[in-house]
């Protein structure tokens, strides 16, 4: 039995019953990393000796340390872990060592988990690709900016991993790599110890290999009680299908997939409605981009002024654009966003969740782009919780996912609904 391929749910039981040792699990993770990471390139800082020492310390504990006891995790390289490098995907910080733990790291350690290593991010968690490859086909992008975290989980190197989303950096890599992920409601998880990109948008999320595992981590971090032992009946839920104003960007494969999904729902006597968003929502993708680029000019001000030659052309172009945006424009954008968020709150009086594309298609070929976040930007700007659910593979074996969007601060219910959808999909495809 390869322990690294088991879910958190399965590992919890085995570890708590002392049927396996944490060090045995970590040895299997190390073996997978040794076999595959030279090709996949998911990790930027990984020390097998330190990983084994941490595992053995936990094995020697007389009692459980928490709900994630002994479960290793990957941490995106913009999140500080004391004593480990945090380069932010930039050569500027290649020698930076964090001196304290980010709040999220303290939370997972308090829950009994431990950091296996740091996963590769794109430069400053933006759109400039790094070296990570898609584990399903090394010639294709894994998405970004949380490239290494998504690839490491998808390739069975670690049971779960943290990333961040400012535009589409959780949901898109999850879709391209064929794994579940959650971008929680904005503000759910403290970002203390995170290197910001755009502080009104940045959200910490996590990848796993099963929706149930997303919920286990959510419970451990928030003290909530997502329940997956309920009998799931989609017939009792109010489902909306939203193609969004950006539907024309969806590849034929995605458009056909949604037609197929609607047929399967109808044949299973599951009711759904088509959700038509207000006309002004077509502006929200541009709004998100303007706010992100404007806020980047603040958070990367020192790098712009003192390390300009070490910035990529992509980052410079983003910052140049941000500097052209007036404060008056940002004020208008935020007014529109607040108005739109209120409209979404009212809309969710009629729906339990919305199904929408995670990405325009499967992962694009090549490593010169992380893909298009057009189906993520609006939801991120609206601060709504989103979950990617893998649904099938393309003819060339690349994963395709759907995005489940829920009401603001209703993440627990969204995760329960996502489990119902995951189970429905597993029966249909």
Say how many residues make up the chain: 429
Tell me if residue 169 is catalytic: yes
Look at residue 135 and give its three-state secondary structure: coil
Distance, CA of 375 to CA of 258 (rounded, Å): 14
Identify whether the C-beta of residue 99 lies closer than 8 Å to the C-beta of residue 130. Answer: no
CB burial readout 243-282, b (16+ within 10 A) else e:
bbbbbebbeeebbebbeebeeebeeeebebeebebeeebe
Distance, CA of 118 to CA of 95 (rounded, Å): 14
Q: How many CA atoms lie within 13 Å of 29's alpha carbon, on the beta-carbon side?
A: 33
Q: Which of 87, 90, 146, 169 is catalytic?
A: 169
Q: Who contacts 41 (Cβ-Cβ below 8 Å, separation ≥6)?
A: 120, 130, 131, 132, 133, 148, 151
Q: Is the peptide bond before 145 cis (omega within 30 degrees of 0)?
A: yes
Tell me if residue 145 is catalytic: yes
In which order are the strands placed within the sheet that holds 181-183?
43-46, 114-119, 72-76, 160-165, 203-207, 181-183, 386-393, 399-405, 353-357, 239-241, 272-274
Q: Who contacts 348 (Cβ-Cβ below 8 Å, separation ≥6)?
A: 406, 407, 408, 410
Tokens 């052209």 correspond to 324
CA distances from 333 to 199, 308, 330 (A): 15, 29, 5
Q: Which of 76, 109, 243, 407 is catalytic?
A: 76
Tell me if residue 266 is catalytic: no
Q: Which of 145, 185, 340, 417 is catalytic?
A: 145
Known catalytic residues are 76, 145, 169
């Amino acid at each position: 039995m390869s322990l690294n391929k088991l879910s958190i749910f399965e590992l919890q039981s085995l570890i708590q019953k002392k049927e396996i040792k944490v060090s045995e699990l970590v040895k299997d993770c190390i073996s997978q990393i040794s076999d595959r990471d030279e090709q996949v390139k998911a990790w930027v800082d990984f020390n097998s000796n330190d990983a084994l020492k941490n595992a053995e310390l936990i094995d020697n504990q007389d009692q459980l340390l928490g709900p994630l006891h002994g479960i290793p995790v990957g941490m995106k390289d913009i999140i500080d872990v004391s004593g480990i490098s945090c380069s932010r995907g930039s050569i500027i910080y290649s020698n930076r060592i964090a001196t304290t733990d980010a709040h999220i790291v303290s939370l997972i350690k308090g829950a009994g988990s431990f950091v296996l290593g740091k996963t590769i991010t794109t430069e400053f968690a933006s759109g400039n690709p790094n070296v990570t490859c898609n584990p399903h086909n090394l010639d294709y992008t894994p998405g970004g900016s949380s490239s290494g975290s998504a690839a490491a989980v998808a390739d069975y190197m670690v049971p779960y991993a943290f990333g961040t989303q400012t535009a589409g950096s959780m949901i898109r890599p999850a879709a391209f790599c064929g794994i579940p992920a959650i971008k929680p409601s904005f503000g759910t998880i403290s970002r203390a110890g995170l290197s910001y990109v755009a502080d009104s948008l940045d959200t910490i999320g996590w990848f796993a290999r099963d929706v149930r595992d997303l919920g286990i981590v959510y419970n451990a971090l928030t003290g909530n009680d997502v329940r997956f032992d309920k009998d799931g009946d989609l017939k009792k839920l109010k489902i909306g299908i939203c193609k969004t104003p950006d539907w024309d960007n969806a590849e034929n494969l995605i458009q056909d997939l949604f037609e197929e999904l609607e047929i399967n729902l109808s044949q299973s006597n599951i009711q759904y409605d088509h959700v038509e968003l207000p006309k002004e929502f077509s502006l929200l993708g541009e709004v998100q981009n303007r706010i992100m680029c404007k806020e980047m000019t603040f958070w990367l001000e020192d790098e712009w002024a003192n390390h300009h030659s070490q910035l990529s052309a992509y980052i410079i172009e983003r910052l140049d654009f941000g500097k052209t945006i007036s404060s008056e424009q940002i004020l208008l954008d935020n007014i529109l966003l607040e108005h739109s968020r209120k409209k979404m709150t009212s809309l969710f009086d009629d729906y339990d969740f919305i199904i929408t594309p995670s990405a325009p298609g499967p992962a694009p070929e090549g490593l010169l782009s992380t893909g298009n976040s057009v189906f993520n930007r609006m939801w991120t700007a609206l601060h709504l919780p989103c979950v990617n659910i893998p649904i099938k593979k393309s003819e060339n074996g690349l994963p395709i996912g759907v995005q489940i969007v829920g009401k603001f601060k209703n993440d627990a219910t969204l995760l329960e609904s996502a489990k119902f959808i995951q189970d429905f999909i597993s029966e249909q495809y």
